[in-house]
Amino acid sequence: MLAGSFRTSASTDVSRRCHDRARRLKLYTKILIALALGALIGVVAKAYDVAWLHIAIRAIEPVGTAFIRLMTMIVLPLVVSSLLTGTASLGDARQVGKVGARTLAFALAATAVATGVGLLAFAIVRPGSGLDPAVRDALAAPFASQAQTAATAQTPLLQTVLEIIPRNPFKALADLDLLAVVFFTIVFGAATGQLRPERRAPILAFFDAVTDVSMVIIGWVLTLAPYGVFALSAAVFASFGAELVGSLLLFCLTVIVGELVFGFGVLGVAIAVLVRTSPVAYFRKIARASLVAFSTSSSNAALPVSLEVAETELGVSKRVAGFVLPLSATLNKAGSALYKAVAVMFIAEVYGVGLHLREQLIIIVAATASAISGAGVPGMGMVTILIVLNAVGMRAQAQAGIALVVGVDRLLDMVRTSVNVTCQLVGVGYVARAEGETLRR
């Protein structure tokens, strides 16, 4: 009797420890495990033609669809609220003279250049080009009608630019015309920034609250991410087996190489030309903040360290560092923009969508806007990448495309966030130097 009671107690303890360990697992670990399990089950179902597995996978696929729809649902409130408050803050930036303008100019230029580097890296590596043509055709087949519609609905570049200006912003919201929404939000935010403080405060308080609510909802949705990723990856790999694994690894390599080229090459040149100091010494001084960003995947979490590094290691004044770095944490996410450019081009290549110069210019604009509008917290890449996919007419492929890249998002999030923070610290050095400050050698 005692032995049986002991065995029951021991079994309960083991079960409780396993449950506690599962609860302690980080979200990205759960997503990675879900991706691996889904891929394994999908590959087995495809390789051995297991009928009951295919039936089970089709039964759970709506879970993945629901996850993507929930992510899409929160995009507009998040983009409008965060972009509006960030733009409105530039009203204060103009009041302090050229500092705000220089911060904004550097952030936009760096983000656009990073997007261009991402497009160039993709053009060189072409991570999706190794797919078997039959597999690519099979992947693209469900979207053939949408592709045909997009091809026949092509408009000249000038007309595309003009259509970014919405005649009815509420219709743009309803149609998920995100570039038009972004344009109107920036104009509205800039106008809000010109109001007197007492008139501006309630507007900013409201949209700050909307941002906070959006982040709570995203937190809820992300708890479903492992289940959605499992369902989506199982469905994809059950249809196409292991053919996609090599292309996915090459996609990761393309992003990482692009981030390294921009992070050390382009920003190294910017340090030498704009900050007029040794890039090697500069990178060494800011390494601590970049490593914190890498480990936390959050530019917001790295902000206190960035402020300390800017003041104590670089010699930037508290006035400049205290203004530029918090603003840059919102505006300057060049590494994120590079990732989105490569991801969208990769998804387009896998699903047989041709994105030419016109679409690539739209990617630069949309990736810059989505990088600015995303909050500096882990997992935002899955949300804001929808902006770029919609902007280039790939709304139909969004669900299947995100299913491909979401599993490796955490690894790439660490790299791109580190580049974001590095770029922000190069920006503060540039602004300080332009303001006449002498930095430490």
Residue 192 pLDDT exceeds 70: yes
- The interaxial angle of helices 398-405 and 334-350, nearest 10 deg, is 120
Which pLDDT does position 28 carry in this prediction?
63
- Top pLDDT among 56 and 376 is at 56
Using pLDDT thresholds of 50, 70 and 90, give the confidence band for residue 237.
confident
Q: Poorest-confidence range of 36-40, 110-114, 222-226?
A: 222-226
Which pLDDT does position 150 carry in this prediction?
41
Using CA atoms, how far apart are residues 137 and 85, in angstroms rounded to an integer?
A: 44
> What percent of the chain has a predicted confidence (pLDDT) above 90?
16
293 burial level (CB within 10 Å; 0-12, 13-18, 19+) = buried
Q: Poorest-confidence range of 14-23, 95-104, 360-369?
A: 14-23
What are the residues whose beta carbons fall under 8 Å from the beta carbon of 16, sequence distance 6 or more? none
How many helices (H) does the chain have, and how many strands (E)?
23, 0
Using CA atoms, how far apart are residues 400 and 320, in angstroms rounded to an integer?
A: 44
Residue 98 pLDDT exceeds 80: no
> What percent of the chain has a predicted confidence (pLDDT) above 70?
72
Closest CA to 90 of 205, 183, 193: 193
Residue 262 pLDDT exceeds 60: yes
Please count the other Cβ atoms lying within 10 Å of the Cβ belonging to residue 105: 14
Which pLDDT does position 242 carry in this prediction?
64
Using pLDDT thresholds of 50, 70 and 90, give the confidence band for residue 154.
very low
- The residue assigned the tokens 């920003």 is 267
| Opening angle at CA 29, ends 25 and 34, nearest 5 | 110
Residue 144 pLDDT exceeds 50: no
Using pLDDT thresholds of 50, 70 and 90, give the confidence band for residue 42.
confident
299-305 average pLDDT score: 73
Q: Poorest-confidence range of 153-157, 205-209, 261-265, 342-346?
A: 153-157
Using pLDDT thresholds of 50, 70 and 90, give the confidence band for residue 197.
confident
pTM recorded for the entire structure? 0.67
Residue 136 pLDDT exceeds 70: no
Domains of the chain in start order, with CATH, are 27-434 (1.10.3860)
Q: Poorest-confidence range of 138-147, 412-421, 431-440?
A: 138-147
Residue 230 pLDDT exceeds 80: yes
Closest CA to 395 of 405, 404, 385: 385
- Top pLDDT among 284 and 75 is at 284
Which pLDDT does position 258 carry in this prediction?
95
3-state DSSP call for residue 194? coil
Using pLDDT thresholds of 50, 70 and 90, give the confidence band for residue 135.
low
Residue 355 pLDDT exceeds 90: no
Q: Poorest-confidence range of 20-34, 66-80, 121-135, 187-201?
A: 20-34
Token couple for 97: 């003279």
pLDDT, tens only, 321-347: 877 887 787 778 899 889 988 988 888
- Top pLDDT among 424 and 384 is at 424
Residue 221 pLDDT exceeds 50: yes
Mean pLDDT of the chain: 77
Q: Poorest-confidence range of 1-10, 66-75, 254-263?
A: 1-10
Q: Poorest-confidence range of 110-119, 250-259, 354-363?
A: 354-363
Please count the other Cβ atoms lying within 10 Å of the Cβ belonging to residue 305: 18
pLDDT, tens only, 281-293: 999 999 888 887 8
Token couple for 370: 């989505």
Token couple for 181: 């929404």
